[in-house]
Structure 1
Amino acid sequence: MSKKTRIREWAKNLLIVLLLCTAGWLLVDSRLFGNLSQGEEQTGAVQQMPAPTAGQVTLPMAVAVTNTGGVCGARYSSAAVNELFRPLLPVLGEAMAGAGRAEAVEPDQWRKALTAPGSAWLELQGNVPMQVLCRWLGGVGNPNLIGSARQLLLCAEQGQVRLYYYLNDQSCYSCEVESVSTEYLESVLAQAVPNGAGFAVADRDYDMLAPQTLILERTPVPEEYVAVNPLAGEQELDPLLQTLAFSPGITTIYQTPEGQRARSGNDTLTISDGGWLNYERAGEEQRYPLAGTEGEPEEYRAVETARELVCGATETWGGTAVYLRDARREADGWHVEFGYVLNAVPVQVGDRGWCAHVLVDQHGVAQYEIFLRGYQLTEKTTLLLPQPQAAAALGQMGQAGSGLLLSYLDGGDSVRAGWMAEE
């Protein structure tokens, strides 16, 4: 080996070592969290986040439209995601309402549909039951849609429209859609202007990532936040108790080592100094009855019951938007989890990840844990490792096949975003 070749190989190896050193110390719980970053830029004053609306829980985390011109993708920006998603909502609602029987398909079919012109893709980020999602998007249910979805793909394929959905366990389903014509779908998709985004499956630079990973043309520059406990200091508890259906006039409040405890009848609510709310139903009183009406799917009623409770608490106390993170049926009822989201970027709260966990049984809410948290936007931003290098780091660290996702980590006062492996 010549001297020049040895120097070149030495430099390549050094680059890999430096890349792994940059990424390695940032690995948390086997995920590439947070601070695959190159530092900070811009400092300045703090401004208060505006309170979101309850409807924001139904917005996707990312959207991509593929037409004859290319791919238009949006993520890590609520405004950009909403702008691209809004024209798609009517056709998605019609498609989900009119979809035929779902059939399992091979992953290759899903990957092929991802890159074909004439498709719209949504990243839900959570594990959303299809009976919930079709009602959120279209207002009506469809018993043909089984299971839960993490991603949706609506596409024109061989003269007909098909709906694909992708589950957390990497299985895929497909349905024929007769209620939407290919001409209608393609006319909606034609409005999108390609912006250089694309999927990992179509770019060899990202072949170590999950094929459905959406890659933006430019590496994002996320803003930083300061975490705020809305219950800190001398707070009047009556408004919070009323929000949580505890009537102040008939509620007894006393101090415990865990925080203040409110008792009404046999039900108890613990309000910790750190912002955690813990409730457990003990009596027959249905403080939080099931939402919806008789005959609607149980998963929809359970999720709506939990959503109304969590959104009411988090919007009033903290003003932070939430998204549905998971909904699963277990022996004791439906376990529904929500996470915080900042500008279309999910927030990982400590080791748990979620900000709210609600157990809903056939009577209503049986227990819940809710972490009240506010986030104040600063003028600081974080410079991230560029997307190609972050993807390469995932592969070198044994995370090949995972998606590359930007996420905030709330583990203290300062809340910064960074790359993580999306399972």
Structure 2
Amino acid sequence: MSGEQVENEWKTITEDFQKIEKIHDEYVQKMRQMTSIQGNAQKALKHHSYLMKNFRDSIKKTQNKSDLSQEEIEKIDKIRQEVEVSNFKLRDMEAELPAQNNGFYLNLILGSNLNVSLLTKSERFKYKQEYEEFKWRITILITVLTSISYLWPFRVLDSILCFLMVWYYCTLTIRESVLRVNGSKIKGWWLTHHYLSCAVPGMVLTWKDGQCYQEFRPLFMCFVVYISLVQLAQNQYQSGCLRRLHALGQGHQMDITVEGFTSWQFKGLTFLLPFLMSGYIFQLVLSFKLFGWISEEKCEGLWQVWALAVLLGIIAAGNIITTSFVCLKKFKTTPSYTHIRTLTRKYSSRHRFGGGAGAQNQPEGERSRSGTGNASKEHEQ
């Protein structure tokens, strides 16, 4: 290659670099503008939220007045409806802006200066999908590794499994905190469940090998395999439910699958509920078994026994109570519950008035005797 050709090629590269510089300068300028606009939008939303809060307080004070006319009451009701619509729009606007606070947990782990907000809905949905894939892959890995460890009882394999489970649950808590910052409504017991679950394999990992550990080991392995298989089936089922809810516009885009039973699962079959409850009862049995071992000589001096007994008991009780409340709350919205309540009220009213409308047409003496006879028959039954 001649010197002239080298010079011409360098000129071409220089021109291309100048184009890159222009694009980069434009990018930096737009980023600064976007950051400035974001700051202004957050300030404006914060100020508007303050005004709305004061306005709602004013509405409450006005409604408490007793000298309001019907026309004024109707005007206030109309304004309240408009306020609700405005609040929905305000929440949508806030969802498009970076969160101002990552929360205590993320600030403790990542630092308070790192912004974990994802700016677009597509980025948030991709992160949520990656979270679901992560849970699916690691749960399969835990199932396979637990099966291998059960068949070949080496403490090294047990330690690797416990390390994997500790890392998995710790990672879940971080990812779920990021999802919460980006609009996912992860709350209640199932978030606490992951924090507590981090400690369980950690305690098993530090448990000294011996007769007590060897007796607990197969039970723990069976529990992990069972609950992992149920979670895999549940993940597939819940993913299908969420896709259907998203398609019908009845579910939030950032809703995720959880280890427990949630109300939106009633949109389809509830065949997984018995398997879930069986897993929770299995966990409760493990807790009671460990409590029984505390005073035995083989487990003497092992703090892991009573600590695991307490922790497994708390987790199992929380799972059972939360799932039961969800089922009961959802059952109260079903037509069957409404029908049962209607029949109960109808029977109670008839019983209270001594047989209903037919009894009202009887003479007073006969009605009294009839009511007494009915009560006696019911008592005999």
* TM exceeding 0.5: no
More relative contact order, 1 or 2 (CA 8 Å, 6+ apart)? 1
Q: TM-score, normalised by structure 2?
A: 0.25
Task: Point out the structure with max Rg over C-alpha.
Answer: 2
Q: TM-score, normalised by structure 1?
A: 0.23
